[in-house]
Amino acid sequence: MAKSKTQTADAGDGTAPSASSPVLTVRHYCQGLGDCHLIRIKRDAPRDFFMLIDCGVHSSVAGGPGTIDAIVADILTVTRKIDVLVVTHEHVDHVSGFLTAAEKFAEFEEIGEVWMGWTENPADPQARQLDKFKGQALALLGQASQRLAAVSDDNGYMTNIRAGVQSVLGFNFGVKGERVRAMRDAAGKLGKQQPPLYLEPGTLRPTIPGLDGLRIYVLGPPRDPSLLKITDRQSEMYSLASVTAAPIVAALEGSFALTLAGDQFIDDPAAPFDCEIGLPLDISLSGEVVGDNEKAALSFLTDHYSGNLPEPPRSKRQRKPLDPNFIDQSWRRIDHDWLAMSSTLAMQLDDQTNNTSVVLAFEDTKTGRVFLFGADAQIGSWMSWEHLSWSVGTEVVTGPDLLARTVYFKLPHHGSQNATRRPMGLELMTSPDLTSFAPTNEKDAKKVGWGEMPYHTLVATLIDKTNGRFVRADDEWLGTGAFPPALKQPSGSLRGFRNTSKLWVEFDLA
């Protein structure tokens, strides 16, 4: 990263002045819907310390792999050694680059340690249980997506369900169908130290040589299974109640087994009749039946389920057009409606994975200021921080204490409404020096049907709390040098700011 310059932004080089040496210099990359953050920390050593947090882009972003290649190439111009690589969680928009840009990552001279959450540890029983659910959910959603692809676009409800399921699958599969697991594993193999370090909430990372004045606290992912499942709670958010996913998994598994059985009978203990009673619907509707009982059943289906009714007699006074549903009975059919539950399962998979995010807080012990990187943590993870504590010497540091001293906040999950807690969360960040960055792109979010992202009420709150020191990855002024006045002068913890291209923005923090 370029060194701070004691000059004004009016010089036209996209550099705001720096008042003093920063504790951290953070380069945020702006690839669209994705995360990649390079942290540089000056230290008393032959070279500075570098940490890379994630490197990915959502599969829906046009030209995403090429942009990631450009990002890794840019990182290589800054440093060829990464001390710590943090893989926050298993979503494509955070890890795709470790697979698609594997050749460029091979150019680094060294990547020291890889940090992941305990949720990625294959030796952890709770992690294995979570992984089993994720595997089942992905397999079922893949089947649901195939079924939904055959639904006519005239069915608006099911079309929306299809779009939602495919959107979530975009977090788990790359542009060429690569599984997110392959991406995560590729990242894990990059570290010189093997296996990766699996982080536990409420722990403190050992002091880094030459950085005695810096502490790194681990806040997430939470261990409480109930909090892993909490993705939203109306009283906690800036504006959706969760359901347990296990029954949905069981129901979909049974439904897919029955509908794919063909001529083979599947024993379903929940069915109202024995498995040999009845005919597959597609055979019944095809007319390919021979027995009298089957013909009677077909006649019943035609009269009351699939066929058109005869038009009733009408008097001369009846001028109003006849409701088409009196004739066409297709509205009675629910052939695909059972697939709608796949959208709920998709949201559960997506949100539980977000709650497995590694969350780190960096503390400058000289000033007590905290720099918070929340990955994609959602409400359940935030709620767990309230009960965390760390013994540091004779003092006890708590989660709420860290939030109260936060002066820099990397906004989680592209600024969605259920990824920043309101009470005991953002409302605790009362420092007048607060600065924030959101890795978001509103246009890309609309393309994949995510609705309001970033959430406008949250954005307005952050602009007010930061006195304008809030930057979005999709800000139109990026790369122009004409950034907002709030970023042109050092203020409190923000000691310098740089933006010479649309690819990245850089903050000097102290």
> DSSP string covering 196-250, please?
PEEE-TT-BPPPPTT-TTEEEEEEES-S-HHHHH----GGGS-------HHHHHH
Range of the domain at 456: 12-133+168-243+349-509
Q: Are strands 470-472 and 435-438 parallel, antiparallel or unpaired?
A: parallel
Q: In one letter, which amino acid is 117?
A: G
Q: What is the pLDDT of residue 1?
A: 46
> What pLDDT, on the 0 to 100 scale, is given for residue 285?
65
| Angle value at C-alpha 48, between 45 and 53, nearest 5 degrees | 140
Give pLDDT, residue 311. Answer: 72
Q: Are residues 193 and 253 in the same domain?
A: no
Residue 218 and residue 117 share a domain? yes
Q: State residue 210's pLDDT score.
A: 87
> Residue 301's pLDDT is what?
77
Q: How much is the pLDDT for 26? A: 98
Query: Residue 268's CB: how many other CB atoms inside 10 A?
Result: 15
pLDDT of 273 reads 65
Does 117 lie in the same domain as 229?
A: yes
Q: How far apart are CA 442 and CA 180, in angstroms?
A: 24
Instruction: Please report whether residue 5 resides in a domain.
Output: no
The structure tokens listed for 104 are 């460029």
DSSP state, residue 237: S
- Per-residue pLDDT, 243: 42
Using left for φ > 0, alpha for ψ between -120 and 50, and beta otherwise, residue 152 falls in beta
Asked if 228 and 126 count as a contact pair (C-beta separation under 8 A), the reply is no
Compute CA distances 265 → 28, 262, 289, 294, 420, whole Å: 56, 8, 18, 18, 49
> Which letter, b or e, does each residue of 5-18 get, where b requires 16 or more Cβ atoms within 10 Å of its Cβ?
eeeebeeeebbbbb
Residue 153 lies in a domain: no
Does one domain contain both 364 and 471?
yes
Nearest C-alpha neighbor of 384 from the set 157, 503, 219: 219
- Assess contact for 505 and 471: CB atoms under 8 A: yes
Is this prediction's pTM over 0.85?
no
What 3-state class would DSSP assign to 100? Answer: helix
Rounded to a whole number of angstroms, the CA Rg of the chain reads 27
Judged by DSSP in three states, 392 sits in strand
150 found inside a domain = no
**E strands present in 186-250:** 197-199, 214-220
Residues 239 and 261 both lie in one domain? no
Write out the two tokens for 267.
């024993």
Give a yes or no: residue 147 inside a domain: no
Name residues of the chain where pLDDT drops below 70: 1-21, 154-155, 175, 230-290, 312, 314-326, 330-336, 347, 351
| Residue 378 sits in the same domain as residue 329 | no
- The closest alpha carbon to 376, from 88, 164, 181, 56, belongs to 88
Q: 354 in the Ramachandran plot: left (φ > 0), alpha (ψ -120 to 50) or beta?
A: alpha
- Residue 81 burial (CB count, 10 A): 13
Q: Are residues 30 and 110 in the same domain?
A: yes
Is residue 149 a part of any domain in this protein? Answer: no
Q: Does a structural domain hold residue 163? A: no
pLDDT given at position 144: 80
Rounded to 5 degrees, what are φ and ψ at 363? -115, 130
Q: So what's the pLDDT on residue 111?
A: 98
Same domain, 30 and 91: yes
303 and 420 share one domain = no
**Is 372 found in the same domain as 459?**
yes
Q: Looking at the domain assignment, is residue 7 inside a domain?
A: no
> Distance between CA atoms of 348 and 383, rounded to whole angstroms?
18
Number of folded domains that form the chain: 2
**Predicted local distance difference test score (pLDDT) of residue 266:** 52
In a shared domain, residues 90 and 227:
yes
| Closest C-alpha among 347, 342, 343 to residue 418 | 347
At residue 121, the pLDDT reads 96
User: For 317-335, b where at least 16 C-beta lie within 10 A, e where not — what string?
Assistant: eeeeeeeeeeeebeeeeee
Residues 278 and 227 both lie in one domain: no
- The amino acid occupying position 144 is A
Whichever domain contains 369, its CATH number is: 3.60.15.10
CB 454 within 8 A of CB 438: yes
